Homo-oligomer: A and B are copies of this chain.
Amino acid sequence: MQTKPQGVSARDTDVAVGTRERVVRAASRLLQQQGYEGTGIKLIAREAGATLGSVYHFFPGGKEELAVAAIHHGDQEFADTLRAGLDSADDPAVAVENCARRLASALRESEWTDGCPVTSTALETLGRAPRIQEACHAALRNWQEVLAAKFRECGFADEDAEELACTVLGALEGAEVTSQVFRSEQPLLTAGRHLARLVRSWS
């Protein structure tokens, strides 16, 4: 058990949350915003209200092990967001469009910084950090499965559901990047509308 966190004014300080969890949350947020190479361990520790010693105590594998844990965290968080959006409507086309709308709102509210939690890290570490790649792969698979489950529930054949989930997730991610660069909700909202049209073309 950690002693009480007496960090002064760190952004992720939360008295009810243990040091390890605070570090993972800070790492997840910073990786999302600045990527793997651009994020230093010392900054993560400072933002989490922890010290370097604590970070290496919980993650003896260093930066790579911490990144893997952070990606798993972002994985589950994004999956929850996705599920919440999909549950907002029975019709799969409407549900997908609602997902896009929610992502757009969240993006604008974060000043266009909080996009997909793994894209940046995944691209930077391609072919150079297998553990991290594996975590990113698992995250994408997980999100595709969340989408595929919704489509199957709505009567899509297994293969159609799987493939559609792959395309919808990819399109949402691509539109999210576009929205971030353009600093506009429009690309995500347009993608949502077009994806709804695509989904409807099966019925």
A198 to B191, CA, bound (A): 11
Residues of B within 8 A of A170 (CB): 171, 174-175, 177-178, 187, 191
**Stoichiometry, copies per complex:** 2
A174 to B119, CA, bound (A): 9
Residues of B within 8 A of A198 (CB): 194, 197-198, 201
A98 at the interface (CB under 8 A from B): no
Contact flags A117-133 to B (C-beta < 8 A → 1, else 0): 00110111011100001
Which range holds the interface residue count of chain A? 35 or more
Residues of B within 8 A of A38 (CB): 35-37, 124
Decide yes or no: A190 and B171 within 8 Å by CB, A37-B37, A124-B34, A127-B112 being known contacts. no
A122→B177 contact, CB < 8 A: yes
- Given B126, B169, B175, which contacts A167 in the complex, CB threshold below 8 Å? B175
Residues of B within 8 A of A103 (CB): none
Residues of B within 8 A of A112 (CB): 126-127
For the complex, would chain A's binding face be called helix, strand, loop or mixed by DSSP majority?
Answer: helix
A111 to B171, CA, bound (A): 23
A186 to B166, CA, bound (A): 9
Decide yes or no: A133 and B181 within 8 Å by CB, A35-B37, A167-B190, A198-B197 being known contacts. yes
A164 at the interface (CB under 8 A from B): yes
Residues of B within 8 A of A201 (CB): 197-198, 201
A173 to B119, CA, bound (A): 11
A126→B194 contact, CB < 8 A: no
A44 at the interface (CB under 8 A from B): no
18 CB contacts below 8 A, A to B, read A35-B35, A37-B37, A115-B123, A122-B181, A126-B180, A126-B181, A133-B181, A137-B181, A140-B178, A140-B181, A166-B175, A167-B175, A167-B195, A169-B178, A174-B174, A174-B175, A194-B198, A201-B201
Q: A-B pairs with the 6 shortest C-beta distances?
A: A174-B174, A170-B174, A37-B37, A37-B38, A171-B171, A120-B123
